Amino acid sequence: MSLFSQAPQPNQENRTLSRSQVLIAMAVTAIVFLAISKGWVYLTGIPMVPLYWQPEHGAIGVGIGLGVALLSSLIYEIWESYRIAAQEYLEMVLNPLQPIDLIWLGLLPGLSEEMLFRGVALPALGMNGVALIITSVVFGALHMASAKHLSYTVWAIAVGMMLGAVTMYTGNLLSAIAAHVVTNSLSGVIWKWKQSKIA
């Protein structure tokens, strides 16, 4: 969901984007990230982390995604500054979306961000602890819509560390993509469900 930090910031009277704006922002971000990934590989010759079907790696990713989404929901309840930042961010992004759009919310960032950050940047920087930290910090920074979203950014950095660590462990991009897709989609479902209970 990172490009939403690059999207025009809503003013006090207009705190949400339209459904079309959100979907276009997701699509454009995915295209840009995929183009950067392909260009990086082409220009440097550094091979991307392979992506291949391995049920065990897929299951690991789904498990991580479920854990991250549920932990995020728990942190939302107990960490006030995170809740405030996440609520503002999610209202802007998720309010206009229809339930079917949550599939795109999972797939587009899940594929494109993982290809760029874990698939290309991580091996390009050495596929080690330093590379893990750098890619996670940049990943988190892209989720920072403003300075008051620091707690949300810290959480995104932690998630980036988990996604990078599982990529290094499996040597397969499948786990990180599955985790990211499940995290985004399930977090969106949980948030939408909570909002419907409040309404």
54-73 tens-digit pLDDT: 999 999 999 999 999 999 99
pTM of the model: 0.90
4 pLDDT higher than 50: no
Rounded average pLDDT over 29-57: 97
Helices 173-198 and 150-170 pack at an angle, to 10 degrees, of: 150
Q: What is the pLDDT of residues 136-154, one digit of tens each?
A: 999 999 988 777 788 999 9
Across the chain, mean pLDDT equals: 90
Task: Specify the range with the lowest mean pLDDT, choosing from 8-22, 100-114, 179-193.
Answer: 8-22
Question: Could you tell me if 46 and 123 are in contact, meaning their C-beta atoms sit under 8 angstroms apart?
Answer: yes
Q: What is the pLDDT of residues 85-104, one digit of tens each?
A: 888 888 888 999 999 999 99
Whole-Å CA distances, 165 to 127, 161, 171: 10, 6, 10
Burial class (CB in 10 A: 0-12, 13-18, 19+), 52: exposed
184 pLDDT higher than 90: yes
> Pick the residue with more confidence: 14 or 22?
22
pLDDT number for residue 14: 46
